[in-house]
């Protein structure tokens, strides 16, 4: 294996490449880090996120696996028990459910079951969400299942720079991390700075300041919220855009501070609205900011139906217009 070349200076990269560079840096820094998944070796994965990594690190550290998600997660659990730090790829988010039992009844609970003496440094990379013109099981947003499960951390970057740093921070965690990658943003470019100081993994950030209404989301939805903020600004309404970055545990302090400033909140997500992350955020903010709110917290989400055929995804998925409609309603209470 030749010397591994990691990112050393600022570059403008698509998110998929940023994750690739983050994985490369983590593998170069710690030989216990290994990758597992379907077609992630010579092919580099369906989205080429692991492109060239097997050639650089060898087939003992970048393993092509059988089409058996339960087996992949089960193997990762065993490897973590032996001191490795496995990173596994679920090819599409809808394929994670054959491994659901392994994740929520074993991976999430082993550390607690052993009174903290058995860490579970397992990262599960999950390409998720819509806007790629695919079918069910290929465009869903199942984050609420895992955010509901104690023992799991759930994160979702919205920018290439966050993706680069957050994948490394997830790998460094001794807790299992579900790393939800917004596949619609894999080709969206942004500056990646490998020399800067990364923000903390579980810190919410204000992506755009505003005064009239707070809008909050994570992953791909942050781009939609920023688009809505641009339109709103042209119409005289100032939106503050908040990027959760982490779905569980949620860092509420910046969000609550924003809502206390603006007095209004719109929560946006691609997932169905019933019993969702958006529901939890709405309830928590209503409890903590009751006397600051000038209008009810409103939610914008996918509909409570199975994900539709590709030609209907534009109707199902929230866009800037639906966000702005909710903003208009909350501004006129």
Is 114 among the catalytic positions? no
- Secondary structure string (H, E, C) spanning 189-248: EEEECCCCCCCCCCCCEEEECCCCEEEEECCCHHHHHHHHHHHHHHCCCCEEEEECCEEE
103 to 70, 71, 108, 174: CA distances (angstroms): 9, 11, 6, 15
Strand bridging mode 123-128 / 177-182: parallel
Catalytic residue among 114, 138, 148, 284: 138
Query: What is the distance between the alpha carbons of residues 205 and 240, in angstroms, rounded to a whole number?
Result: 11
Neighbours of 47 (CB within 10 A): 20
Buried b (16+ CB within 10 A) or exposed e, 247-274: bbebbbebbbbbbeebbbbbbbbbbbbe
Catalogue the active-site residues.
138
């Amino acid at each position: 294996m030749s010397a591994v070349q990691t990112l050393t200076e600022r570059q403008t990269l698509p998110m998929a490449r940023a994750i690739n560079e983050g994985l490369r840096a983590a593998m170069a820094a710690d030989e216990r880090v290994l990758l597992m998944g379907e077609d992630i070796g010579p092919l580099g994965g369906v989205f080429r996120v692991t492109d060239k990594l097997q050639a650089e690190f060898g087939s003992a550290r970048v393993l092509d696996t059988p089409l058996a998600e339960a087996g992949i997660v089960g193997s990762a659990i065993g490897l973590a028990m032996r001191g490795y730090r496995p990173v596994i790829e679920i090819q599409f988010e809808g394929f994670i459910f054959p491994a659901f039992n392994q994740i929520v009844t074993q991976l999430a609970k082993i550390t607690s079951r052993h009174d903290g003496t058995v860490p579970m440094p397992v990262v599960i990379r999950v390409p998720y969400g819509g806007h790629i013109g695919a079918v069910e099981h290929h465009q869903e947003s199942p984050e609420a299942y895992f955010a509901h499960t104690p023992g799991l951390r759930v994160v979702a970057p919205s920018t290439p720079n966050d993706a680069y740093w957050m994948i490394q921070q997830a790998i460094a965690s001794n807790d299992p991390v579900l790393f939800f990658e917004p596949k619609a943003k894999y080709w969206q470019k942004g500056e990646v700075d490998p020399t800067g100081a990364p923000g903390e993994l579980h810190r919410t950030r204000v992506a755009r300041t505003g005064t009239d209404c707070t809008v909050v989301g994570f992953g791909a939805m942050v781009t939609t919220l920023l688009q809505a903020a641009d339109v709103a600004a042209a119409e005289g309404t100032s939106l503050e855009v908040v990027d959760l970055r982490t779905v569980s545990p949620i860092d509420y302090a910046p969000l609550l501070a924003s809502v206390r400033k603006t007095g209004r909140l719109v929560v946006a997500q691609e997932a169905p609205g019933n019993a969702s992350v958006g529901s939890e955020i709405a309830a928590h903010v209503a409890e903590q900011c009751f006397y600051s709110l000038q209008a009810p917290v409103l939610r914008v989400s996918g509909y409570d139906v199975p994900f539709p055929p590709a030609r209907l995804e534009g109707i199902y998925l929230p866009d800037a217009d639906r966000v702005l409609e909710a903003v208009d309603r909350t501004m006129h209470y």
